[in-house]
Structure 1
Amino acid sequence: MLGFHPVGTSLVKLVPAHHVYLRLLQRIDFGFVRPLVAPFYSPIGRPSLDPVVFVKLLLVQHLENITSDRKLVELASLHVGIRAFLGYELGQPLPSHRTVCRTRQRLSVAVFEACFTHVVGLCATGLSERAHPSD
């Protein structure tokens, strides 16, 4: 009988090594995000969107020039490279566009500025040259 059987391999292995999102994943440590957003997250209650995933989604939104959260989540659901960058496997549901929107509304401008400053600092130290598509 023919049918769909999940492949037991990570999506990262399916993405070409030179792909921009895989290179970003390899070169950026997104651990800086959690301390920045800690005041906005409660240790109790229902778990919400992982702040690292949220910042990665914002980066994808910027790189892909997307202005709609709905379009962002739609693209991420279809694009294997973006899924791998976010840390989601094929069978895992992505956050809804409403969750992305609510997370953006909950965080302060200072958080976004700190993330921006950190990423610009990485670019200033050469990340942008190493992550150029012609590598």
Structure 2
Amino acid sequence: MKAKAVTTLLFAVSLLAACGSDAFGDSDSDGSSTHDNTGSGGTGTVAVSPAGTLIPDGARQLAAQCFQCHGTDGRNDAFESLAGESERELISEMHEMRNEKGGIMHYQARGYSDAQIRAIAAYIASLPGGGSHDDD
């Protein structure tokens, strides 16, 4: 009975291992690729844009909340545009807003971890017309 349980467990583990992605990532048809740079199996997966910008997995979904007011391309006449800002500037602004008390942006920003803020900033800075340099 014990041998059958061990055999079943080994089969399940080998099946799961065979279903995983390769260590070097996969290339997509649009020229982007994904890589897991943490060795943890997914939490550090990043996409590489054709321009070479690293965009953490899930960053677009995190940034979707921002797009409700700032526009899907980071441009909106009613609220401050995000397009054209560098990743560093976006991170700095989100940290400031998270630490300030009051205002709608405080309540938005405080819901994100530092890693999520970095992911959002990387994604927004990678948008066409967005800032990819930290010299702002």
Q: Compute the TM-score of the two structures, normalised by the length of structure 1.
A: 0.30
Flag the structure with higher strand content: 2
Q: Relative contact order: is structure 1 or structure 2 higher (C-alpha 8 Å, sep ≥ 6)?
A: 1
Flag the structure with higher helix content: 1
Q: Compute the TM-score of the two structures, normalised by the length of structure 2.
A: 0.30
